[in-house]
Amino acid sequence: MKKLVALIIVFSVSINIAKSQNLLAIPDTISGTEFNLNIYDTSKVFYNGYTTNTFGINAAYLGPTLFLNKGDSVNMHVANELMDTTTIHWHGLHVSAMNDGGPHIVIPPSTIWNPSFKVRDHAAMYWYHPHLHMMTNMHATMGAAGLIIVRDSTEATLNLPRTYGIDDFPIVIQSKCFDANKQILVDNASDSVMMVNGTLNAYLPAPAQVVRLRVLNASSERVYNLGFQGNLAFSQIGSDGGLLNAPVSLTRLRLAPGERAEILIDLNGKEGQSINLMSYAAEFPSAIYGALQPGMGAGQTIPGYTANVLNGQNFNIMAFNVVAPTANPITTIPTTLVNNIVWPTGSANATKTLTFSPVTMGPTAIQGPFLINNTSFDMDVVNYTIPLNNIEIWTLNNQSPIAHPFHIHDIQFYLTEINGATPPANMQGRKDVVLVPAGQTVKFITKFETFCDSMATYMYHCHMLPHEDDGMMGHL
């Protein structure tokens, strides 16, 4: 009998080792109108027996999720307890340039930055992260980032899951590189370890009902081709800055650095099953970071890239272990959501074309640095001055051999064309990041409203953080 018990214990341990999974961390929350964030040097155990140095915000890795209500006036208190200067940018929020936390709005060590602003954004998930010139990748990779969930009265009327951590889950996807001592390596194409919410090899017990996932790609460079094991269909209901007009049924969702997507998965009747969230990167065409070939040509690569086991492969991101439904579960997916009103293209006052190119042509062209309109970022040169209330159409023309996720501060935009074609339905909502494939053009329309300040600027840049740090950025 003793032997049998021992055998059962050994067997169950070996099953656990085979699964070798960790319960997904769900970031703590702060709600109300006063938000205290402390950025500090700390550490976290990602691997048993190793202490990894990190930058924390109120926690060892990734900050708390901030719940904001549209219309509220909020006060942020950001204390920098690092040895280094940093900034905090509210990615996607429509705030004044002085409150935006770009590279000019620095928080020196041992000081507190106190921006106050009115929440003007649509219900969606946004995020906050450092934006210090040439240091964004380092600070964000070390863990200084967190989520913002905005709620509004329109979203509140919809029959959607919205109980955080119960049927509405944040999913922050990052690829990381650890050295032999399990310290985080920054700016390295050997980002072969996947983590979700800072958890390696994560699983989430998810109830057997309609579940909402708010997915952020917070990786420095990697693009994901998200899908569920067995090609389980899911519905995208929101993009970066708001809900879509109606859910869009998908089996794949490409998500580039900085982009967010809200999706619903229907787990009704799946209790007891385990379903992996995957990246089907083997399906990517060339010239995307994450594809087998990161450049347009076979000879174009990045040091460390070819040896990285994630590139061009289908891999697990995390697992959903389906458990019993909650009380009063959401069991259906709505047919309509909101009514996004897009500015007519004829209403535009101005157009701009931004051309992306490498500094050097040839085999090393995909290693950067990259230029926008043949110009590298200069802290002291304002690239565009835009009259308040201008409606503009921007054409992003990628003449470099790798796809770049373009991000602009202050506004949300609507895509009007992708390489001459109408964008797919899941890309027709409010966005602040768009992946511009190599050799292609993307057009969007937006309105620059509410804020203008001749003394402070907003950034636009590539959200592949090494590209941004290397000067693929401008300001307006």
Which residues of the chain form contacts with Cu ion (CB under 5 A)?
404, 462, 464, 467
Contact of 446 with 413, CB cutoff 8 Å: yes
393: which 2 tokens?
């159409």
Contacts of 3 (CB under 8 A, 6+ apart): none
Q: Quote the tokens at residue 333.
A: 């997916």
Structure tokens belonging to residue 172: 């922050």
Q: Give the residue with the Cβ less far from Cu ion, 61 or 284.
A: 284
- Is the Cβ–Cβ distance between 186 and 139 less than 8 Å? no
Q: How far is the CB of 408 from Cu ion (least distance, A)?
A: 14
Minimum CB–partner distance for residue 472 and Cu ion (Å): 5
Least distance (Å) between residue 78 CB and Cu ion = 27
Closer by beta carbon to Cu ion, 119 or else 302:
302
CB of 470 to Cu ion, least distance (A): 9
Query: Which residues sit opposite 22 in a β-bridge?
Result: 202
CA of 144: how far to CAs of 169, 202, 283, 378, in Å? 20, 20, 31, 25
Torsion sign over Cα 169, 173, 179, 185: negative
**Quick one: residue 420, left, alpha or beta (phi over 0 = left, psi -120 to 50 = alpha)?**
left
Q: Least Å distance between CB 370 and Cu ion?
A: 5
DSSP per-residue codes, 305-368: STT-TTTTSEEEEEEEEEEPPPSS---S--S------PPPGGG-SEEEEEEEEESS-STTGGGS
Residue 108 is encoded by which pair of tokens? 């020196």
Other C-beta atoms lying within 10 Å of the C-beta of residue 54: 22
Instruction: Please identify, using beta-carbon distances, which residue of 65 and 383 lies nearer to Cu ion.
Output: 383
Sheet holding 350-358, edge to edge: 370-372, 350-358, 390-398, 441-448, 414-418
* Smallest gap from residue 291 Cβ to Cu ion (A): 15
Q: Which is nearer to Cu ion, 234 or 370 (CB)?
A: 370
Query: Please, what is the minimum distance in Å from the beta carbon of residue 365 to Cu ion?
Result: 12
Query: To the nearest whole angstrom, how small is the minimum distance from the Cβ of residue 467 to Cu ion?
Result: 3
Burial of 320 (0-12, 13-18, 19+ CB in 10 A): buried
Judged by CB, which is closer to Cu ion: 139, or 467?
467
Residue 80 in 3-state DSSP? strand
Please report how close the Cβ of residue 459 comes to Cu ion at its closest, in angstroms: 14
- Tell me which residue has tokens 């990628």: 398
Nearer to Cu ion, 137 or 236 (CB): 137
* Pairing relationship of beta strands 210-217 and 168-178 according to DSSP bridges: parallel
Nearest to Cu ion of 407, 467 (CB atom):
467
Q: How far is the CB of 405 from Cu ion (least distance, A)?
A: 7
d(CA 196, CA 174): 6
Of the pair 132, 275, the CB lying nearest Cu ion is at 132
Q: How far apart are CA 399 and CA 439, in angstroms?
A: 5
The minimum distance between CB 137 and Cu ion, in angstroms, equals: 12
Q: What is the DSSP string of 22-42?
A: EEPP---EEESSEEEEEEEEE
First to last CA, the chain: 75
Q: How far is the CB of 462 from Cu ion (least distance, A)?
A: 3
